């Protein structure tokens, strides 16, 4: 079974993020859930992003990376949207990474190194009409470039325009897409050796 560090999105460590972690635990995986917001959660994405700006994205990234200190090396790093920052950085730079799961976001590989590390499989998941993923920040372009650069990357696009679609505690939840995302995630984790 895999050991996963799962980072929450900009609305914080919501009940939906905790339920997602519980699904992974129920399948036998160990999941660590760092809270980068010190217990704060937000009703809207805009409120959460405002808080992230106030704290500072660099500070959140550093705190996310530090949250993995003291854990073993053979980890899968996973993140939802904002949480992709520390997850992707650790997957690319921390020795022993076993894989990465990037939900709703993907950062250009060049932000954290010259290329994606060999032997580290990665999945990227997003909705095909989500403006945050497909337009505003260039995440879809970064995901496609990642897939083109390595045989160990997969990109999964789901029909719809919601951003945080796998968080069952939010109005953006899409049950069909979330169910498929969880199945693909568990298949990925079950393949980690």
pLDDT tens per residue across span 61-111: 999 999 999 999 999 999 999 999 999 999 999 999 999 999 999 999 999
187 CB-contact burial (10 Å; exposed 0-12 / middle 13-18 / buried 19+): exposed
Residues of the chain with pLDDT under 50: none
Q: What is the pLDDT of residue 193?
A: 80
Q: What is the pLDDT of residue 138?
A: 85
pTM (two decimals): 0.97
Nearest alpha-carbon partner for 94 in 112, 109, 79: 112
Q: Mean pLDDT of all residues in the chain?
A: 96
Say how far apart CA 66 and CA 142 lie, in whole Å: 25
Say which CATH topology domain 3-190 has: Rossmann fold (3.40.50)
Domain regions of the chain by residue span: 3-190
Q: What is the pLDDT of residue 183?
A: 98
Q: What is the pLDDT of residue 181?
A: 98
């Amino acid at each position: 079974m895999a050991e996963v560090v799962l980072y929450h999105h900009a609305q914080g460590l919501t009940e939906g993020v905790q339920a997602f972690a519980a699904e992974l635990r129920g399948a036998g995986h160990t999941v660590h859930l760092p809270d980068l917001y010190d217990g704060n959660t937000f009703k809207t994405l805009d409120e959460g992003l405002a808080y992230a700006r106030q704290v500072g994205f660099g500070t959140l990234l550093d705190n996310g990376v530090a949250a993995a200190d003291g854990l073993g090396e053979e980890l899968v790093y996973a993140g939802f949207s904002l949480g992709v920052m520390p997850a992707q950085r650790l997957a690319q730079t921390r020795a022993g990474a076993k894989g990465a799961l990037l939900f709703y976001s993907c950062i250009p590989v060049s932000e954290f190194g010259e290329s994606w590390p060999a032997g580290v499989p990665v999945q990227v998941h997003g909705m095909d009409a989500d403006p945050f993923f497909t337009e505003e920040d260039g995440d879809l372009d970064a995901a496609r470039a990642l897939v083109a650069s390595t045989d160990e990357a997969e990109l999964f696009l789901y029909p719809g325009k919601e951003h945080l679609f796998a968080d069952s505690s939010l109005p953006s939840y899409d049950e069909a897409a979330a169910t498929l995302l969880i199945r693909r995630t568990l298949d990925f984790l079950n393949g980690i050796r």
